[in-house]
Structures are given as structure tokens and as C-alpha cells.
């Protein structure tokens, strides 16, 4: 019986994005989302790309920038419960490979979406607003900052 099996990390949440195959799984998940949206008959290609981008960025915002704490029992005296997953990533060290990957991936998806929507103004505004909602919280200057007290507790 493996009750209370110990792990070597103080907070396993800090290293999960560096685990083996995580980036490939992430990219395949985004690709699968796009294929599912393309298979819906009444969605045009530009609508499917815009929905892929918006759903991806909404999910990324929720899971990386809105949810705080860890799903694990951590011996860090409750420090992690006040931090979002992005702030816990790589123990808060900026510009690591995983942080760069999760910053670049929405930008690449944005460029692909803009290209396939042929820079239509409506799609362009929606995709730009969606991109900014996930890029601004990733800035190093906003590490631990709660604008207007949102997500303070």
C-alpha cells in the first residue's frame, strides 16, 4: 500500500510543465481542438480558427493565471496557495524554456489564426484581444501583481 508516497519536489506544480512529453501533448491537444471545430459542418474555416484561438487562450488564462494554489499537499507553509500556476512555474524563475514555450505558443497560434482568417477586421480584433489577455499576465513585471485586487485571495 503506497499511502503518503513522498516526492522529491517541495511543490510538484513547479516542474509539471517540464515533464517529458508535456509540450507535445499540449500541441496535440490544440491540434485536436482545431480538428474537432473544423469537423462541425456549419463552422467556416475562419470561424473554426478564431474559436480555436479563443478557446485555447481562455483555457490558458483560467489554468495558468486565474486558478491559484496546488492540487498537492505541499510542505511550503502555504506559500503556493497564494500563487497562480504561472507564478509557481519553475519556482518563479523568469525566461526558462517552459515559460518561453507557453509564451510563444499563443503568439504562433495567433499568427496562424490571422493568416487563415485573411486578416478580417472582426476576427482580427477578437483574436488580438484574446492574445492580450494571455500575454499581459505573463509579463515579468506582473509577477505576483493583482490588478484592481482581482484574484487577490
Domain spans, the chain: 42-144
- Give me the tens of pLDDT residue by residue for the chain, a chain 153 residues long: 455 555 566 677 777 788 889 999 999 999 999 999 999 999 999 999 999 999 999 999 999 988 887 777 766 666 777 788 888 888 788 888 999 999 999 999 999 999 999 999 999 999 999 999 999 999 888 877 777 666 666
Residue among 104, 106, 71, 101 at smallest CA distance from 85: 71
Q: What is the pTM of this model?
A: 0.87
Amino acid at each position: 500500500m503506497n499511502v503518503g508516497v513522498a516526492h522529491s519536489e517541495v511543490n510538484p506544480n513547479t516542474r509539471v510543465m517540464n515533464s517529458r512529453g508535456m509540450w507535445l501533448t499540449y500541441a496535440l491537444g490544440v491540434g485536436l481542438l482545431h480538428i474537432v471545430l473544423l469537423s462541425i459542418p456549419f463552422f467556416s474555416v475562419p470561424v473554426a480558427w478564431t474559436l480555436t484561438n479563443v478557446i485555447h487562450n481562455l483555457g490558458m488564462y483560467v489554468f495558468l493565471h486565474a486558478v491559484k494554489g496546488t492540487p498537492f499537499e505541499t510542505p511550503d507553509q502555504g506559500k503556493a496557495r497564494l500563487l497562480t500556476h504561472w507564478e509557481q512555474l519553475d519556482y518563479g524563475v523568469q525566461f526558462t524554456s517552459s515559460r518561453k514555450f507557453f509564451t510563444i505558443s499563443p503568439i504562433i497560434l495567433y499568427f496562424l489564426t490571422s493568416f487563415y482568417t485573411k486578416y478580417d477586421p472582426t476576427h482580427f480584433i477578437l483574436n488580438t484581444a484574446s492574445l492580450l489577455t494571455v500575454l499581459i499576465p505573463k509579463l515579468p513585471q506582473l509577477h505576483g501583481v493583482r490588478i484592481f485586487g482581482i484574484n487577490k485571495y
